[in-house]
Amino acid sequence: MAKRTTNDFQSRLRKLPHVARLKRWQPFRSADQAELNAAADRIAGPGNWQAVAGWKPADVDCRLFHFATKAEADAMQRWIQESGIETRQVPARYAMPQLTVADYNRKP
């Protein structure tokens, strides 16, 4: 009989029970994503937080940031509201022509 392994993702979320909610479903620009990650690292330290998509009906349009303490979650929620990251511009669509694949059968 095979031994069952633990669900590492679920056990990590159990260790990080406090949540800050970012209500936005559109993607972020790379600079905004880097700023968001830097703010979470500054508040809780690198590797001491987890971001997941909301799946409950109340959190469907949210990105959830899980933290170990209530103070960290409150600080992140305060930063989200003060920075205005929820209402920042969506990245521009790529409007350049599609690059072609090289034709290896072509003779020079």
Q: Evaluate whether residue 58 is within a structural domain.
A: yes
One-letter amino acid of 50: Q
Q: Is the pLDDT of residue 105 over 80?
A: no
Give the Å distances, CA to CA, from 106 to 97, 98, 100.
22, 20, 14
Please report whether residue 74 resides in a domain.
yes
pLDDT digits (tens, 9 = 90+) for 18-75: 999 999 888 899 999 999 999 999 999 998 999 999 888 888 889 999 999 999 999 9
Does some domain include residue 99?
no
The CATH number for 33's domain is: 3.30.310
Domain presence at residue 53:
yes
Please tell me the total count of domains within the chain.
1
Helical residues (DSSP H) of the chain, grouped into ranges: 8-15, 30-44, 70-83
In a domain, 61, yes or no: yes
Crossing angle for the helix pair 30-44 and 70-83, nearest 10 degrees? 150
Q: Is residue 102 part of a domain?
A: no
What is the model's pLDDT at position 108? 60
Tell me the per-residue pLDDT of 22-33, one tens digit each, with 9 for 90 and over. Answer: 998 888 999 999
Task: Find the domain containing 69 and state its range.
Answer: 8-83
Question: Is 60 domain-assigned?
Answer: yes
